[in-house]
Amino acid sequence: MHESVMWLFSMCLILGSVVGLLAGLLGIGGGLLVVPTLVWLLPQVGIEPSMLMHIALATSLASIVMTAMASARNHFRLGNVDLSVVKVLAPGIIIGGLSGSVVAELVPAQYLPKVFAVIVLLLALQMMLSLRVTHSRPLPSALASAVGGGVIGLLSSLAGIGGGSLTVPYLSYFGVEMRRAIGSASLVGFLIAISGMIGFIFAGVGSANLPAYSVGYVYLPALVGIAATSMITTRYGAALVTRLPTATLKKLFAVLLLIISLKMFLS
């Protein structure tokens, strides 16, 4: 068992390096890759199928806390974070993030991968079909923004993601410049991840057959491995935002997500 845990930790170091780059470059927390990868890795250390998806979602969100915090700090230094936008979204984001763990507990375990697959499929299609916004719309009222934030938080928590894939197009639709939308999404992702992580920790406390080295549904060996490298590489992703064709990269990433979602839905 010790050898298998160390193997998983090594794999998560590699995974974290990729996740960090994506977090900084595309404004996403990386959960879209972390969750399906953990679903493949965790059974190798004896995680039972009944709690596999819960642990993958919770650990993904916990890793995003670290990644999004580092990404948000780097974007803030670069002037890419619009705090006025984050403030109006924050109440709904936090409530939605906490609600995701409650909904996940109500959904039968065998259906959670399909819920994840559907959300990821919609996100992939959105990325592939998204168009650059060329005109500005005013942000909605505080109440409407809170509702929008709640939907983003709930869906993101259910998918174990930081919500950048939802937040960036939402802000872009309302005329927020892409660079600032990505930077603001990294801070929003931190709020989603920390609220979702707290919800999954409390939901998992006292559950039978939790693996060793876990806090609630958060599996610590995977979390430490992902966080150790993602917090380093996220700074390089943020620095590449103005140098690489982000829109093209998002469409290529969307193709990968499309394959992953279809595979999880059909498996």
How high does pLDDT run on average in the chain? Answer: 83
**pLDDT of the residue at 130:** 62
Contact 180/81 with Cβ under 8 angstroms? yes
What is the pLDDT at residue 242?
A: 67
Which pLDDT belongs to residue 214?
92
Please give the Cα distance from 22 to 132 (Å, whole number).
20
Number of domains in the chain: 1
Which single residue is written with the structure tokens 């929003």?
188
Q: Is the pLDDT of residue 260 over 70?
A: yes
Expressed as residue numbers, the domain containing 140 is 2-266
Helix (H, G, I), strand (E, B) or coil at 214: strand
Q: What is the CA radius of gyration of the chain?
A: 17
Q: Report pTM.
A: 0.84
pLDDT exceeds cutoff 60 at 96 = yes
pLDDT tens per residue across span 164-186: 778 877 887 787 877 888 888 88
Can you say whether the dihedral through the CA atoms of 173, 174, 180, 182 is positive or negative? negative
- Closest by Cα among 198, 80, 97, 200 to 146: 97
- Is residue 159 scored above 80 in pLDDT? yes
Residue type for 10, please? Answer: S
Stronger pLDDT, 260 or 197, i.e. the higher one? 197
pLDDT score recorded for residue 225: 93
Q: What is the mean pLDDT of residues 145-155?
A: 91
- pLDDT tens string 3-34: 888 999 999 999 998 887 876 676 565 778 88
Residue 27 has what pLDDT? Answer: 57
Q: What does the pLDDT read at residue 89?
A: 92
DSSP state string for 128-172: HH-----S------HHHHHHHHHHHHHHHHHHTS-SHHHHHHHHH
